[in-house]
Structure 1
Amino acid sequence: MTNAVPFVHHFAVIASDFEASERIFTAALGALGVEALHRADGVAEYWRPEEDRLSFSLERARHDTSVTRRVHVAFAAEDRAGVDRFHAAAVSAGAVSRHAPRFWPEYRAYCAFLRDPDGNNIEALHKEGDD
């Protein structure tokens, strides 16, 4: 059974260095076909052009907001190549590699893990079978 209602509709991260984080997320998510389709006043909202839902936003920290730190966010990739592109693009844009792309049998997924400038654990994964 497939549910047409998404589990999570959108998620936001507040960045201490908006420009550095925007560079990383734009590169990494772009490798997965996710674009920054709205940018204004210290906010970048990312989603796939054909889907007006399931979005991720990056926001500049303001004097009355706390920075998001040590959260774990995982983005789905269509295939292993997408995970590889995600990792390479993010590292080129300034992210720190925590784990290079590889198969994780305990998750039955091919994953890569990164750290953004605020210490958030950013992942791309492609779910696979028990092979």
Structure 2
Amino acid sequence: MEAPLSFIHHLGVFASDFEVSEAFYTAALGPLGITIGYRADGVAEYWDPERDTPSLSLERAEEAAAVTRGVHIAFAAGSRDAVDRFHAAASAAGGSSRHAPRPWKEYRAYCAFVSDPDGNNIEAVHKEIS
């Protein structure tokens, strides 16, 4: 049996305010090369333009109890500069910084963490082997 490219095909996040969250994710993920590949009313699907999986599906929550909260999602970054740009863009688009970009020696990575508009922990991580 052949192993898949990634064991995650897609994730779904349900937003309390779709338009605010769409603006946040579009700004935050752009520096990582992740764009909207599909959009419909109340749905935006983000992926790498070279392949559509794994992907992040952002959807309008139909009720308050359905809002995604407390999730930690880490996105791969190609460089430290991409992590820095992610943090700046996410913060400017309504996110709040949890951890500014810096090396995390215990993970052999350079990372930044930002809360999305619903409080989810969104990370950009650039793995570095030392």
Which bin holds the TM-score, normalised by the shorter protein? over 0.9
Superposed, 1:18-37 pairs within 5 Å as 18-37=18-37
Percent identity of the aligned residues? 65
Within 1, Cα distance between the matches of 2:60 and 2:73?
A: 18
Q: CA RMSD in A?
A: 1.6
Please state how far the C-alpha of 1:17 moved relative to its aligned partner.
1.2
1:5 aligns to what SS in structure 2?
coil
Instruction: Please say if residues 37 and 52 of structure 2, whose CA atoms lie closer than 8 Å, have aligned partners that are also in contact.
Output: no
Unaligned 5+ segments in structure 1 are none
Structure number having the greater helix percentage = 2
Instruction: Please say if residues 16 and 64 of structure 2, whose CA atoms lie closer than 8 Å, have aligned partners that are also in contact.
Output: no
Tell me the residue number matched to 1:13.
13
Tell me the residue number matched to 1:81.
81
Cα deviations by residue, 1:66-88 (Å, 9 ceiling, x for unpaired)? 11001000000011011011111
Tell me the residue number matched to 2:47.
47
1:106 aligns to what SS in structure 2?
helix
Tell me the residue number matched to 2:57.
57
Give the structure-1-normalised TM-score. 0.93
Tell me the residue number matched to 1:91.
91
Please state how far the C-alpha of 1:63 moved relative to its aligned partner.
3.2
Give the structure-2-normalised TM-score. 0.93
Within 2, Cα distance between the matches of 1:48 and 1:22?
A: 16
Please state how far the C-alpha of 1:52 moved relative to its aligned partner.
2.1
Please state how far the C-alpha of 1:9 moved relative to its aligned partner.
0.7
Q: How many residues align?
A: 129
Within 2, Cα distance between the matches of 1:96 and 1:52?
A: 28
2:6 aligns to what SS in structure 1?
coil
Unaligned 5+ segments in structure 2 are none
